[in-house]
Structure 1
Amino acid sequence: VDQDLKKIAAMLPSASVNRTSSFSTSVPAVRREDATHARLMTNANEASSVWTALAFEGDDTLGVSSAKVDHRQKRKGLPSGPDAIGTALTRRLIRDLIRYMYIILDLSSAALSDPDHLCTGGVAPSAKTRHAVLLATAVTYVREFYDQNPISHLGIVILKDGQAQLLSSLGGSPSAHLSALASPSASNPGLCSGNASLMNGLECVGRSLSAAPRHGSREILIFSSSLRSDDPGDLTGAVDGVARIGVRVSAIGLTGAEVYAIRRICDMTGGSYAVAQDGAHLKKLVR
């Protein structure tokens, strides 16, 4: 039997065993070399991409090209190119869905002046004073505000006698603000007196808006009835205070002329300022 086994073993080709063993050991070696080469090439490409992504901007400063930004967006699974811009705008729109706004009403003695041009085509065609126009405009604005911003919050402050008085607190109930506007404190023209103080108005509203959540926008809208602001101190300091907490101040003038102090406030906080030319223009401004 042993002799037969030896004969069979002698008949088997030894090269076949060598070829098999050579193949089984050489394949992993080739794969390791390929993997190492691939890693080196990847590292080299990533290193060079850092420099190719850098480009000189128009002002000769070194910045990152949009191609690099797109590459990073794609690696994170985020939209790139024009879609990335759209995503940023969407985030901004979501933020602006919730607004925290105060309306400041100028109920100084100037509100008792003749409305002149403000009646034509406006929300109060038969008004006898700026106060009547102002009140009707405020009511219209509150309704429009909640129609367009149903989950936002509103508050109302009135200015008279050099002071700022809270008419309605910051909240999400339109009926509460409409009731406040119908109360004697706002609706009685006999209570319009003294001068308006924009400084006191901004400081009063700023204290409330400083506690408003950051996920919403912070805004102030001034309805101005007079051409002056009687302030006990530095108005610029009050403007800086609301600007620091991200409040945007806008204004609508009922005086027929622009007031420099109000223009300055709006410019410093990124808001807008418009003077109503007539009743129709005023109606358009609040809508």
Structure 2
Amino acid sequence: VDQDLKKIAAMLPSASVNRTSSFSTSVPAVRREDATHARLMTNANEASSVWTALAFEGDDTLGVSSAKVDHRQKRKGLPSGPDAIGTALTRRLIRDLIRYMYIILDLSSAALSDPDHLCTGGVAPSAKTRHAVLLATAVTYVREFYDQNPISHLGIVILKDGQAQLLSSLGGSPSAHLSALASPSASNPGLCSGNASLMNGLECVGRSLSAAPRHGSREILIFSSSLRSDDPGDLTGAVDGVARIGVRVSAIGLTGAEVYAIRRICDMTGGSYAVA
């Protein structure tokens, strides 16, 4: 590059290749002392801004000024104010970690049907009833739930004969729920009878979840075997009740067809619905 510049300079009679000397005559050099002084002043200003953000609180302890924190919170798009300092992110983190969930199992007479489209691993071909698939899926789900959410709580409710029965209470012991699923009340297909009532199931679970701490998520997962819901009253009122306390309802249908009532429940509470 320097050789090319010299050749170009030779072609220009009035040009000078001494770029350093021409630059130094037009722009004065900054003294090392001035640069050091400017750097020290910048550090002093930053330190001063840190100290101005501190203030003495009522108990004579030193803390960060709430005005400075509010400004930083607003600049980052976070909630501001005395109650929001250090709590917004914590509340969101706890809500992601702790879950309070009820599983509702449809053990009505519809669970005894033998559809060809249901097939899961671990279920013998001779036992491909909705009840067998539902039970095997529930056992797998309980194990995976506690593997992924070790500090969360789970409960199980069964639907049959138009009623909702508590199979296991809301708790943090996976062995208790697995034992409940292995009990005759859930594992014996001969006890599947009557119709399922989603209204009674939501009301039963809603009463329990209403007492769950608000720092965790409240959820319901329905395993449905029926194409209908035999309710004694207005199902919409029960859905409004669980939605009012912040419960999210999701469902898995083993019917091969979507049920409008279940779809409506999931949509109203912000849940999801899948059909096997």
TM-score, normalised with respect to structure 1? 0.66
In the TM superposition, residue 117 of structure 1 has moved relative to its aligned partner by: 1.4
Q: Secondary structure at the match of 1:158?
A: strand
Q: 1:171-191 deviations in whole A, cap 9, x for unaligned?
A: 000000000000000000000
In the TM superposition, residue 127 of structure 1 has moved relative to its aligned partner by: 2.6
Change over 3 Å in CA distance of 1:29–1:244 after alignment to 2: farther
Q: Is the deviation greater in 2-11 or in 171-180?
A: 2-11
The answer on whether the counterparts of 2:120 and 2:133 sit within 8 Å (CA) in structure 1 is no
The answer on whether the counterparts of 2:163 and 2:196 sit within 8 Å (CA) in structure 1 is yes
Structure 1 segment 69-88 matched on structure 2, within 5 A: 71-73=71-73
In the TM superposition, residue 39 of structure 1 has moved relative to its aligned partner by: 26
The answer on whether the counterparts of 1:227 and 1:255 sit within 8 Å (CA) in structure 2 is yes
In the TM superposition, residue 4 of structure 1 has moved relative to its aligned partner by: 85
Change over 3 Å in CA distance of 1:192–1:77 after alignment to 2: closer
Change over 3 Å in CA distance of 1:178–1:7 after alignment to 2: closer
Corresponding residue of 2:141: 141
Q: 1:223-278 deviations in whole A, cap 9, x for unaligned?
A: 00010000000000000000011100000000000000000000000111011xxx
Change over 3 Å in CA distance of 1:60–1:82 after alignment to 2: closer
Equivalenced residue count is 275
In the TM superposition, residue 87 of structure 1 has moved relative to its aligned partner by: 10
In the TM superposition, residue 93 of structure 1 has moved relative to its aligned partner by: 3.7
Return the index of the structure with the highest Cα Rg: 1
Change over 3 Å in CA distance of 1:144–1:40 after alignment to 2: closer
In the TM superposition, residue 96 of structure 1 has moved relative to its aligned partner by: 1.9
The answer on whether the counterparts of 1:218 and 1:248 sit within 8 Å (CA) in structure 2 is yes
Q: Structure 2 CA distance, aligned partners of 1:138 and 1:257?
A: 20
Q: 1:105-156 deviations in whole A, cap 9, x for unaligned?
A: 0000000000321115576655331100000000000000000000000000
What value does the CA root-mean-square deviation take over the aligned residues? 16.4
Corresponding residue of 1:105: 105
Q: Structure 2 CA distance, aligned partners of 1:237 and 1:6?
A: 90
Q: Which runs of 5+ in 1 are unaligned?
A: 276-287
The answer on whether the counterparts of 1:79 and 1:87 sit within 8 Å (CA) in structure 2 is no
Q: Is the deviation greater in 79-88 or in 19-28?
A: 19-28
* Aligned-residue identity in percent: 100
The answer on whether the counterparts of 2:135 and 2:187 sit within 8 Å (CA) in structure 1 is yes
Q: Structure 2 CA distance, aligned partners of 1:265 and 1:63?
A: 48
Change over 3 Å in CA distance of 1:117–1:26 after alignment to 2: closer
Corresponding residue of 1:96: 96
Q: 1:176-226 deviations in whole A, cap 9, x for unaligned?
A: 000000000000000000000000000000000000001100000000001
Q: Which runs of 5+ in 2 are unaligned?
A: none
In the TM superposition, residue 95 of structure 1 has moved relative to its aligned partner by: 1.3
The answer on whether the counterparts of 1:102 and 1:221 sit within 8 Å (CA) in structure 2 is yes
The answer on whether the counterparts of 2:123 and 2:136 sit within 8 Å (CA) in structure 1 is yes
Q: Structure 1 CA distance, aligned partners of 2:57 and 2:239?
A: 35
Change over 3 Å in CA distance of 1:57–1:110 after alignment to 2: farther
TM-score, normalised with respect to structure 2? 0.69
